[in-house]
Amino acid sequence: MSEGTVSSFRRWFWARPRAHGETIEGRRVSNTELLYDLIYVAVIAQSTTALGNNLTVGGLLDFIVVFSLAWIGWVNGSLYLELHGRDDGRTRSYVFLQMAILCLLAVFTQHAASTTGMQFAFAYVAFLLVVGWLFFTVRRVDAGPVARLTGTYAVGLFVSAAVILASAFLAPEIRLIVWAAFDVLWILATIALGARPRSYSIGIAPTESMVERFDTFTLIVLGEVIVSVVSGMIAASQDLLTIATGVVALVIGLGFWWIYFDIVGGRRARQSGRAITAWILAHLPITLAIAAAGPAMVSLVENAVAPAAPGATAWLLVGPVAVVLIAEIVVVLAFVDGADERLVYRPLLIAMAFVAVIVLMVAFVPLPAWALALILNAILLAVWFVAASRFMRAGAWPPGAAKAD
61 and 157 fall within a common domain:
yes
Helix, strand, coil: what percent of the chain each, to 5?
80, 0, 20
53 and 193 fall within a common domain:
yes
154 and 227 fall within a common domain:
no
Residue 266 placed within a domain: yes
234 and 192 fall within a common domain:
no
Last residue of some domain: 200, 218, 238?
A: 200
Q: Which helix (H) or strand (E) holds 87?
A: none
260 and 349 fall within a common domain:
yes
d(CA 329, CA 61): 24
Residue 152 placed within a domain: yes
Most distant CA atoms of the chain, gap in Å: 77
Closest of 322, 301, 303 to residue 376, by C-alpha:
322
Within its chain, how far is the Cα of 105 from the centroid? Answer: 17
pLDDT at residue 127, rounded to an integer = 97
309 CB neighbour count, 10 Å cutoff: 26
pLDDT in tens, the chain (405 residues): 555 666 676 776 777 787 777 777 777 888 888 899 999 999 999 999 999 999 999 999 999 999 999 999 999 999 888 888 788 888 889 999 999 999 999 999 999 999 999 999 999 999 999 999 999 988 877 776 677 778 888 999 999 999 999 999 999 999 999 999 999 999 999 888 877 655 555 556 677 888 999 999 999 999 988 888 888 888 777 788 889 998 999 999 999 999 999 999 988 888 888 888 999 999 999 999 999 999 999 999 989 889 999 999 999 999 999 999 999 999 999 988 776 577 778 888 999 999 999 999 999 999 999 999 999 999 999 999 988 888 888 777 766 554 544
d(CA 174, CA 5): 55
335 and 232 fall within a common domain:
yes
Closest of 164, 333, 172 to residue 263, by C-alpha:
333
Residue 362 placed within a domain: yes
54 and 162 fall within a common domain:
yes
Residue 299 burial class via C-beta count within 10 angstroms: exposed 0-12, middle 13-18, buried 19 and up = buried
- Cβ-proximal residues to 236 (8 Å cutoff; 6+ apart), any chain: 242, 246, 301, 302, 304
pLDDT at residue 195, rounded to an integer = 74
80 and 150 fall within a common domain:
yes
Residue 391 placed within a domain: yes
- Residue 54: domain span: 24-200
- Cis omega (within 30 of 0) for bond into 398: yes
69 and 188 fall within a common domain:
yes
Closest of 404, 381, 269 to residue 332, by C-alpha:
269
d(CA 203, CA 199): 9
pLDDT at residue 197, rounded to an integer = 59
Which ranges in 85-171 belong to alpha helices (H)? 89-107, 117-139, 144-167
Question: pTM of the full predicted structure?
Answer: 0.91
pLDDT at residue 337, rounded to an integer = 78
d(CA 27, CA 207): 8
CA distances, 263 to each of 194, 255, 355, 361, 381 (Å): 24, 12, 15, 24, 13
Residue 8 placed within a domain: no
d(CA 40, CA 106): 8
Q: How many domains does the chain have?
A: 2
DSSP labels, 310-346: -HHHHHHHHHHHHHHHHHHHHHHHHH--SHHHHHHHH
Residue 367 placed within a domain: yes
Three-class SS of residue 259? helix
Closest of 104, 130, 129 to residue 119, by C-alpha:
104
pLDDT at residue 3, rounded to an integer = 55
Closest of 122, 110, 108, 38 to residue 78, by C-alpha:
38
Please report, as a single letter, which amino acid is at residue 160: S
Length of the chain: 405
CB 323 within 8 A of CB 285: yes
Residue 18 placed within a domain: no
Closest of 132, 180, 126 to residue 153, by C-alpha:
132
Residue 6 placed within a domain: no
DSSP labels, 341-366: HHHHHHHHHHHHHHHHHHHHHHTTS-
91 and 182 fall within a common domain:
yes
Last residue of some domain: 136, 166, 200?
A: 200
298 and 359 fall within a common domain:
yes
Last residue of some domain: 200, 217, 245?
A: 200
182 and 235 fall within a common domain:
no
pLDDT at residue 402, rounded to an integer = 46
pLDDT at residue 404, rounded to an integer = 42
If phi > 0 it is left, if psi is from -120 to 50 it is alpha, else beta; for residue 326 that is alpha
Angle in degrees, 0-180, between the axes of helices 172-194 and 273-302, rounded to the nearest 10: 140
